[in-house]
Each structure stands twice: as C-alpha cells, then as structure tokens.
Amino acid sequence: MTLEKELEIAKNVILDAGEIILESRAEDLDVQHKSDGSPVTIADKKSAAYLTEVLSKSFPYGMLNEENMNNDTRSKHEYSWIVDPLDGTISYINGDDGFGIMIGLVRDGSPVLGVTYRPLKNELCYGILGEGSYISHDCGDTRLMVNKSEEISLLVSGHRQNDEVDQVINKLNPAKLRHMYTGFKTTEVAKGNANLFVCPESVEMCLWDVCGTSLILEEAGGRATDVKGNLIDYKGSAELKSGFVASNRIIHDYVIDRIGGN
C-alpha cells in the first residue's frame, strides 16, 4: 500500500496546525494544568481538535491524540494516527522557538509514516517506511542521514532532570552533551546534529513523543528502542514504561549495554 496520500494530507494538516498555534500564541494562552502537573494551553486544544477532525475525515483510521486520550481508537483499526498537537508547551509558553507538532502513522503497531513541524524554525521533516526521510527547504527537500560517529554526542531533556539522567550521563561519559527543551531530540539525531538521545525509565514520555520521530530517524539510518533494546509497543500503553533510546545505530548496542539493558 502506498502512503503518498497520507503523507500529503499529513504535511498539509501539520502546516495548518502550525498556523493555528502561532495565531493562538498572540492571544491569551489560557494556561491550565493537567493532573500530572504539565501545562496545557488553548493552542494545544485548538491544534488537537483540528488535527483530529481533518485526519479522521480524510481516512478511516484509529487515533491517539495527546489532548483527547479518552478517545483512543487504536485497537479498532489496522492503521492509526498518533498525534502530539503541540510538543514543547513549556517552550511555547516561555516564548522559545523549539516547539512544534508531531504526527505518526502506525500499521499493526509499527510506525510507517512520520511528519514533524517546528513553525518558527520553518522546519518540516517527514518519512515513509522504506522510502527514506527528508527535511523540506524553500529550494527543495534534502534526504536526512544520521552521522556515523562513534564518539557520543548526547541529547537529554532540559526540563526533566533527575538522578537517573545524571547516572546515564556518567555511565556514557559523552564527548558532547546538550540539554534540549522540546521533544524534537530524535529528529536532531536523524539530522546528524547528535548521535544519541536517551530518556531513562523515570522520565515520562509517551507514544506521541516518539512515534513520528522514530520513523524519521530509522529512515535516516538510525535506531529507536526502549532502554532495554526492545521495540516500542505502539499498541500498548500510551506511556513509555521502559524509557527511550534514539541513536545513529552504530553506537546503539553499546549504549544499551552501558545503561543497564538486557
């Protein structure tokens, strides 16, 4: 099955959602907090509603949307969208430019398409299983390729520091270390700007944080698993229970061994 129509619609809808969150940023953000204490704004909700409406009308697929988790319909469909309508809400609130939107499509629990967009950076990345991943520019699209270095250049969360993150850093002793404040760390590995992102088990991440970006990474030559080296279960719990590792593939087994995998 070709996914060209799905890709076209996903690219169009993610660009439109980008406009929605930029327009909302100029208005009252109406910041509230979820049960886990994380912030949510009117932009999250508007983007979520728009993405759900257009994707659901365009395709008879399941849906898992961060801002509408109670209507998770993945189990009823072969194909399902997994959507983060505004990743980096804290950065969005603080006036930073790294926030964006992530869309993934899974078939029988495995990612087959990914699209991400950071509107203030004008950065659209996308990939289809078996067809590579790309970044769009005004002058055309460039294929993404991970870097081939064995010297560890590590990305970790900037907002969610804890002892386990420090332990990972100490065990890996990276040549380079960067704290990044949004969920686009996996795409940074796909772009070759680092060769490793690690999220330990104690740092909360969910399927919508990694679905689209993992497909983009793997089509760029990288690898994505949990911290034990297992594939992510996109049919299971929305919350990642066993952490997340995204790498250039070359160093992946070494990293899994060092941070306590199987």
Here the tokens at position 177 are 């270390």
Residue 2 pLDDT greater than 60, yes or no: yes
Domain boundaries, the chain: 4-143, 153-258
Alpha helices (H) along the chain: 4-25, 42-58, 89-94, 163-172, 185-190, 207-219, 252-258
Average pLDDT of span 78-83: 98
Here the tokens at position 196 are 């490793």
- Which one of 3.40.190.80, 3.30.1600.10, 3.40.1010.10, 3.20.20.70 gives the CATH number of domain 153-258? 3.40.190.80
139 vs 247, higher pLDDT: 247
Which of 245, 228, 223 lies closest to 111, judged by CA? Answer: 223
The pLDDT value recorded for residue 30 is 85
The pLDDT value recorded for residue 209 is 96
What do you get for the CA distance between the two ends of the chain, in Å? 35
CA distances from 138 to 124, 135, 142, 225 (A): 11, 10, 11, 33
Residue 203 CB partners (closer than 8 Å, separation 6+): 157, 160, 162, 164, 165, 243
Structural class in CATH, domain 4-143:
alpha beta
Handedness of CA 219, 225, 231, 232 (dihedral sign): negative
Confidence of residue 161 (pLDDT cuts 50, 70, 90): low
CA distances from 234 to 21, 47, 189, 194 (A): 27, 22, 21, 25
Radius of gyration of the chain from its Cα atoms, rounded to whole angstroms:
17
Which of 216, 247, 213 lies closest to 100, judged by CA? Answer: 213
The pLDDT value recorded for residue 203 is 87
What predicted TM-score, i.e. pTM, was given to this entire model? Answer: 0.95
Which of 179, 239, 235, 181 lies closest to 208, judged by CA? Answer: 239
Confidence of residue 261 (pLDDT cuts 50, 70, 90): low
Residue 220 pLDDT greater than 80, yes or no: yes
Residue 138 CB partners (closer than 8 Å, separation 6+): none
- Residues 141, 11: Cα–Cα separation, whole Å: 13
Handedness of CA 38, 215, 251, 240 (dihedral sign): positive
Helix, strand, coil % in the chain, rounded to nearest 5: 35, 30, 35
